[in-house]
């Protein structure tokens, strides 16, 4: 019988090399002699990234590896921080190809395209991709569009933008033994892949409706013909939005902007504001459409946890529709804003996901600065008319079954 097996390791050792080594060793032990086809690594930036990755590779050898730095790690038993988490995947009917696109800071679209081209050169049979971009150096939506010019708009992808422990300074992407910054890395899966993707946020609008009146890509210059920052200052008070003491993202990320996609969509598409300039223009994690109707959004614990359950259920439905009998593996891309809103209840959210997916599922994941997932598929039928988007404040669950 075809199998899709996975195993997770975790380490909080303060020595970067040993932490990587321990996490990889634990994952390898859990594989019970099966040959790993892919290594996934998520790590805190407290570790020297090169040393940490060398530690992982000292155990996993030449097995293809992708991963990124995070703003908190997730494993089967719950959230973690200041740690390295490693997942080893072993599947007999699935092929994993890995790819990388560089220099997002120069051209995010081209980086996405380069990433996709490197994958399509290896196989044209790809079913789904896991994408891990640098979320700080360029427009996340441009990266997604770059990938779509190669694979088509209907192509399914799920992933999360790398984090850096809520510092908003620099994130890293791992490709085999290399540590990049400003890159997009990931894996394309082909063959008999029984996967499902769940995506939900649970954020609710607050305050009145606004219209984006002037925008350049991911930078909103004006809202309602006023400097964009007014929308925050009006509700927060000027002193709260003082970016001289802390980056704007650290305050605003839990109150993103919600874009009404269309009348049938069940949830708003969210854009997390990352920075603000002296003219009051807000730069978001990804493109905001011109003339978009937007509202300020607010998150709550109960809604966030309920959304996570829904996402998990959606993921299960997807696996079943592709002939999967049992889910074995889940990769969770969970927005850092959710971690901030949930605080001590972050573990409740992960436990809720595990409860829906089943006790036997192996889970890995991280807290992200943005997520990629197919949206517009929020109906339970999983309509195929959907396309992948860059999201924020969202939990994305990429599940695999056998």
Partner 1 sequence: MKQVMEPITDVLQEQQRIASLLIQKDLALAETNDRLNQQVNQLRVLQTIINQTRCCYGQPEILEAFAKGLVVDLNFSIALILLNRPPFKVGIEYGYQSIPALAKVRQHTLVKQVYHSNTALFVLNSVVAVPAQKQLAELLGVTSLAVLPLMVRDKKYGVLIGGINHPYEHLSLADMEFLQVYANSMTIALESIAMEDRQKHIDALKSEFVSVASHQLRTPLSVIKWILKMVLDGDFTKPEEQRSFLTKAFHTNEHMIKLVNDLLDASSIEEGKMEYSYSDFNLVELVNEVLVDLKLLCERKQIKLHTNTEQGGVIMINADRKKIAIVFTNLISNAIKFTPANGKISLLINKKAQQTVEIRVQDTGIGMTREDQDKLFTKFFRSEQSKKTQTEGSGLGLFIVKNIMEQHNGDIKVASTLGEGTTFTCRLPLGS
Burial of 243 (0-12, 13-18, 19+ CB in 10 A): middle
Residue 154 bridge partners (DSSP): none
Q: x/- binding map, residues 343-382, to partner 1, per CB under 8 A?
A: xx--------------------------------------
Q: How far is the CB of 157 from partner 1 (least distance, A)?
A: 32
Strand segments (E) across 70-138: 73-75, 78-80, 84-91, 94-101, 126-133
Q: How far is the CB of 240 from partner 1 (least distance, A)?
A: 7
Residue 211 bridge partners (DSSP): 293
Q: How far is the CB of 235 from partner 1 (least distance, A)?
A: 5
Closer CB to partner 1, 61 or 237, in the complex: 237
Contact between 211 and partner 1 per CB under 8 A: no
Dihedral sign computed on CA atoms, order 150, 154, 158, 159: positive
Residue 227 bridge partners (DSSP): 222
List of residues 6+ apart from 343 with CB closer than 8 A: none
Contact between 208 and partner 1 per CB under 8 A: yes
Contact between 51 and partner 1 per CB under 8 A: no
Stretch that binds partner 1, among 31-39, 54-62, 250-258, 385-393 (CB under 8 A): 250-258
Cβ count within 10 A of residue 34:
17
Contact between 240 and partner 1 per CB under 8 A: yes
Closer CB to partner 1, 240 or 384, in the complex: 240
Q: How far is the CB of 54 from partner 1 (least distance, A)?
A: 16
- Specify the pairing of strand 327-335 against strand 362-368: parallel
Stretch that binds partner 1, among 173-181, 340-348, 384-392, 394-402 (CB under 8 A): 340-348
Residue 259 bridge partners (DSSP): 269, 294
Closer CB to partner 1, 237 or 358, in the complex: 237
Q: How far is the CB of 253 from partner 1 (least distance, A)?
A: 12
- Specify the pairing of strand 371-375 against strand 362-368: unpaired
Q: Do 284 and 249 touch, CB atoms closer than 8 A?
A: no
| Terminal-residue alpha carbon distance, the chain | 9
Closer CB to partner 1, 235 or 351, in the complex: 235
Tallying the residues shown for the chain, one arrives at 402
Token pair in block for residue 125:
């049979």
Q: Do 101 and 114 touch, CB atoms closer than 8 A?
A: yes
Contact between 246 and partner 1 per CB under 8 A: yes
Contact between 201 and partner 1 per CB under 8 A: no
Residue 78 bridge partners (DSSP): 75
Q: With CB under 8 A, what is the number of residues at the site for partner 1?
A: 28
Closer CB to partner 1, 106 or 169, in the complex: 169
Q: How far is the CB of 288 from partner 1 (least distance, A)?
A: 20
**What residues make contact with partner 1 under the rule CB under 8 A?**
12, 14, 16, 46-47, 82, 167, 169, 206-208, 234-237, 240, 245-247, 250, 254-255, 296, 298, 340-341, 343-344
């Amino acid at each position: 019988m075809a199998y899709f097996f996975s195993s997770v390791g975790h380490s909080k050792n303060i020595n970067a090399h040993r932490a990587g080594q321990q996490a990889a060793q634990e994952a390898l032990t859990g594989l019970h002699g099966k040959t790993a086809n892919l290594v996934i690594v998520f790590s805190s930036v407290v570790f020297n990234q090169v040393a940490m990755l060398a530690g992982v590779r000292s155990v996993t050898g030449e097995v293809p590896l992708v991963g990124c730095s995070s703003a908190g790690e997730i494993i089967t038993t719950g959230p973690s921080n200041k740690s390295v988490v490693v997942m080893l995947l072993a599947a007999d009917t699935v092929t994993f190809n890995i790819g990388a696109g560089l220099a997002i800071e120069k051209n995010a679209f081209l980086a996405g395209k380069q990433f996709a081209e490197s994958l399509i050169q290896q196989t044209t049979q790809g079913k789904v991709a896991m994408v891990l971009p640098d979320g700080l150096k360029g427009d996340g939506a441009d990266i997604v569009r770059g990938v779509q010019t190669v694979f088509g708009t209907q192509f399914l992808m799920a992933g999360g933008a790398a984090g850096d422990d809520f510092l908003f300074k620099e994130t890293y992407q791992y490709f085999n033994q290399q540590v990049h910054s400003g890159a997009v890395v990931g894996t394309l899966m082909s063959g008999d892949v029984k996967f499902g993707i769940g995506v939900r946020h649970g954020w609710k609008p607050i305050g009145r409706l606004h219209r984006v009146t002037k925008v350049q890509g991911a930078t909103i210059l004006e809202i309602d013909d006023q400097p964009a920052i007014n929308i925050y200052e009006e509700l927060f008070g000027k002193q709260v939005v003082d970016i001289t003491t802390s980056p704007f993202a650290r305050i605003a990320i839990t109150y993103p902007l919600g874009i009404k996609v269309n009348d049938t969509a069940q949830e708003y598409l969210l854009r997390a504001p990352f920075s603000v300039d002296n003219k009051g223009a807000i730069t978001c994690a990804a493109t905001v459409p011109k003339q978009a109707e937007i509202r300020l959004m607010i998150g709550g614990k109960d809604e966030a946890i309920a959304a996570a359950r829904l996402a998990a259920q959606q993921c299960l439905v997807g696996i079943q529709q592709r002939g999967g009998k049992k889910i074995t593996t889940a990769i969770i891309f969970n927005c850092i804003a959710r971690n901030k809103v949930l605080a001590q209840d972050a573990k409740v959210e992960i436990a809720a996901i595990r409860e829906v997916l089943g006790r036997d599922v192996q889970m890995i994941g991280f807290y992200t600065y943005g997520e990629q997932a197919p949206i517009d598929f929020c109906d339970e039928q999983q309509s195929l008319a959907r396309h992948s988007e860059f999201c924020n404040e969202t939990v994305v669950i990429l599940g695999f079954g056998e």
